[in-house]
Amino acid sequence: MTTFLDTTIDKLIENFDFLNDWEERFAYLIELGKKLPPLSEAEMTDEHRIHGCQASVWLRMLPQSDGTFDIHADSDAFIVKGLIAVLLLIYSEKTAEQILDTDSTATFERLGLDKHLSPTRRNGLHSMVSRIQALAAESTAQTV
């Protein structure tokens, strides 16, 4: 669950608008990332690793009884943990269909991440989104 982040994606966007510069925004992302519960060593396997990221990133999507997914992820880089927090706010506690229908690119644009991340961080962020969408698509294929 994303309640440990104590915010919503709308509140995150509002906070970003309030902060004056990108140094403050990156500091805020890092603080959000520090709130992520760490994955266990047993979860940090190649099966859960996201390739295409400069940093090491692991992600698990756990189906819940109500049809939604609880997403757990971790990284060895502080800023990437912050980006993971953004993704959790966007995708956690949604069904596979809702995940597939969500346009995270629009949220990244509203936050300015499309312009202020390095190309390698942008690629990594899109690799994480692709993995989340692929796992959601895989889950819908299994139920058909």
Residue of 53, 77, 79, 99 marked active site: 53
CA 29 to chain centre: 12
The total number of structural domains that make up the chain: 1
72-126 pLDDT per residue, tens: 999 999 999 999 999 999 999 999 999 999 999 999 999 998 889 999 999 999 9
CATH number of the structural domain spanning residue 33:
3.90.1010.10
Output the CA–CA distances (angstroms, integers) from residue 129 to 84, 102, 133, in the order listed. 10, 10, 6
What's the domain range around 18? 3-143
Q: Both tokens of residue 62?
A: 């756990």
Nearest CA among 85, 61, 53, 51 for reference residue 138: 61
Average pLDDT of span 128-133: 96
| Amino acid 91: pLDDT | 95
CA 49 to chain centre: 14
| pTM for the predicted model, two decimal places | 0.92
Q: Say whether pLDDT at 1 is over 60.
A: no
53 in active site = yes
Angle at 132 between CA 106 and CA 86, to 5 degrees: 50
39-78 pLDDT per residue, tens: 999 999 999 999 988 899 999 999 999 999 999 999 999 9
